[in-house]
Structure formats: C-alpha cells, structure tokens
A = this chain, B = another copy of it.
Amino acid sequence: MDEVDELWGQDRRCIPHRSKVLHLRKMPDTTCHMSISLDGFVAGPDQTREQPLGMRGRELHSWHLDDERATDADAAAAGWLMRPRGAYVMGRNMFGPIRGEWDEDWRGWWGPEPPYHAPVFVLTHHAHEPIEMEGGTTFHFVTDGFDAAYAQARETAGENGVDIAGGASTVRQALTAGVIDELALDIAPVLLGSGERIFDGVESFGFEPVEVLHSPLATHIRYRRTG
C-alpha cells in the first residue's frame, strides 16, 4: 500500500453516509480539522505526487492510520474529523499534485468515492468543469478566490455547515477571514522543522479550547470561536 492509499484508504472505508438523524442535530456552522506538528507544520517540505503531505508529513497522521498505539481518544477525534458536512472548501494543492494548467484527467486522491459525500469547492486559478464522483461528492472549481468559494459552500451547505478541508493556505485564508467557528487540531509529538504552516500571517486567534483528548500519538484539541 503506498502512502496515498494508506492516507486516504482507511477514511474511505469507514466514512458513513450522512444519516437523517445527524441532519436533525444543530451542527457548528463552519469547521476545520488539521493535524499539526508541535512546531506548527501541517505538511512537510517537498510535497509530491508520491508524498502528498511532504517529507515526514505522514507522521502527523499516525493517530488515524492504523498505528497500534492509537486509543479511544484517537477514535473520538477521528469522529470529529469524519462527521458529515454540507459542503467543503479545499485548496487546489490538497485536491491534487497538478500545478498550472489542467493537463490530465485528475479526479482527486480518493478514488471513485471520495469521503466527502457533499459538494467540494476547490480553489484554483484555472477553470475546470465540475467533476461528479460516486457517493455524492462533486468537485466544483472556483477561480475567484476564497471568499467566493466559501460563499458558494455556505449557500450549498445550508444548515449542515461548511468544513474547511485544507491545506495550509486555504486554512490561513479562512482564519484570516474569521469564518471558522470550530477548529480541531491534532498536535502530533513530532518536529518537522520545515513545511507548511497555518498560522503565519494570521494576526489574532479568537478561540478557546473546549475539549481535549490525548493518546501517545496526538493531543486532540477542539477550539471554539470566542468572538
């Protein structure tokens, strides 16, 4: 199993379809969930098609990738990550390894049935027709910036809420725009030394921790917006 399959394979298997029961619950409006190193990186340097999270980036995700040291705390945090949302906003580098013009038929890292089961609005400078996948995921490509993509996602999601799926640049834009209501961080006891940061240039935080779980593999913190 290569890194790409390993990263996404498990999620693909375990994601439930949105249930009608969950539809009735009040969900936080806009969420974001990122795994991060103790020195602040959400991906290592040198991201490639073979290593989409960059050098050693996979170490941030041990807590939900079949590591034998994982505990119930990790399972609970995986539940936060995988809960159904009404729509997603995603950066193009998270969608795939292609830069510049679309020169191949890339359909995401996640196989025929991605784990989103909802519209995903992908930020890009290069227009592309929507891509409809199995299981309810459709990738829409938005060329007029984060605010436009977020507005479309909100309108589509309705009461089911939006998730900012990543990567680092998209999360930075969402934090700067102040749209995230709940931010979950899995702080892995790992130092990457370089890579992609989510807080660079974000001037104020405005969240407080409301729930914290931990295992040997990560400290999972749910932050709620205070402002």
Contact = CB atoms under 8 A, between A and B. Distances in A.
A209 B205 contact: no
A200 to B, nearest CB: 8
Contacts of A208: 189, 216-217
Interface in A193-212: 193, 197, 199-205, 207-209, 212
Contacts of A199: 38-39, 191
A223 interface: yes
Contact of A219 (B205, B217, B219): B219
Interface size class of A (residues with CB under 8 A): 20 to 34
A191 B191 CA distance: 19
Nearest to A188: B205
A172 to B, nearest CB: 11
A40 interface: yes
Contacts of A33: none
A200 B221 CA distance: 23
A65 interface: no
Interface of A: 38-40, 187, 189-191, 193, 197, 199-205, 207-209, 212-219, 221, 223
